[in-house]
Structure 1
Amino acid sequence: MTLNINNPIKFDYIIYTDGACIGNPGPGGWAAIIFYGKDKNIISGFEKQTTNNRMELIASIEALKYIKTKSKINLFTDSKYIIDGIKVWIKNWKLNNWKTKTNKDVKNLDLWKELDDLHGFHSIQWTWVKGHSGDKYNDEVDLLARGEAEKI
């Protein structure tokens, strides 16, 4: 897929996010590439002890928090956990008082609630991209996230 950052079609922003973890749990990193017109911004960070799923969530959250005004966004991630969570599971979690279908506590609840709030603020198209498949920006954000995890 080729991204035309000069013409984001109907979106104000195009975002690529990724999370990485050395061991799971272990040191982790996250990164996001945020396109606005011709501008490209990179944000990233790390945690000393975390999980891959937490890093994926934090990458999406931090990218969406970076955008201060209500916007139309296409967010690309290679995380099925994020895609399934936001598109499928979260509705039922909320109806079930933040419990899974087996009545267990939702893992990473603090982050899912924050992501849900941001999802309600922005208009977001969540797009899954296959990891390590040659997508230029997914590969770039993967390297950035892994680089953050390796800082520790």
Structure 2
Amino acid sequence: MKDVTIVCDGSSLGNGKGEPRAAAVALLGFRGLWKGVGKFLGRATNQQAEIAAAALGLEELKEPCRVRLFSDSRYVVETMTGSFRRKTNHDWWSRLDKAAERHTVEWNWIKGHSGHAVQEAADKAARKIASAGHVDPDLLSDAVVDLGTVEL
């Protein structure tokens, strides 16, 4: 099995207000090289965007892998490790469960906005996609180009 690192982040601009604009981004690292994937979600909460970001990264993997997944969402990490109960967002959790089932996933919380290069790149890309209302492939390429061979 390949060892892969995923750093993911979700963003919901206007979360809790009339018309939120949400996006999910996952940066996948393999042998020090990084690839970015993202999706504009439209109307979704911040928590839903965080769940979607983790699912997006896992869905991108073409074969079963050992995955170290990092999220700045305690909601995602604690729920997937069994510490939090699932009270809402059941359809979103089902998607993440399905995405995770063929992999061996180590769920890790990473503090957001703390200067961690990969997490900051994921956060910035998610906010830009949410703001733009669509995914720009160049934006995802730019998000990982400066990471070079960053290892976690």
Q: TM-score, normalised by structure 1?
A: 0.79
Structure 1 portions without partners, runs of 5+: 1-9, 94-99, 101-105
RMSD: 1.8
Matched, 1:125 2:116: no
Runs (4+) of structure 1 moved beyond 3 Å?
A: none
Which deviates more, 39-48 or 74-83? 39-48
Aligned-partner residue type, residue 137 of structure 1: V
Q: Quote the residue 2:89 is aligned against.
A: 108
Distance 1:51 1:62 in 2: 16
Count, aligned residues: 130
Q: Quote the residue 1:22 is aligned against.
A: 13
Contact 1:19 1:142 in 2 (8 A): yes
Matched, 1:32 2:23: no
1:117 deviation in Å?
2.5
Distance 1:141 1:11 in 2: 22
Contact 2:6 2:70 in 1 (8 A): yes
Distance 1:67 1:15 in 2: 10
Q: Quote the residue 2:149 is aligned against.
A: none
Distance 1:108 1:19 in 2: 15
Structure 2 portions without partners, runs of 5+: 134-152
Aligned-partner residue type, residue 31 of structure 2: G
- CA gap of 1:51–1:118, structure 2 versus 1, over 3 A, is same
If you compute each CA radius of gyration, which structure gives the higher value, 1 or 2? 1
Q: TM-score, normalised by structure 2?
A: 0.79
Which deviates more, 109-118 or 58-67? 109-118
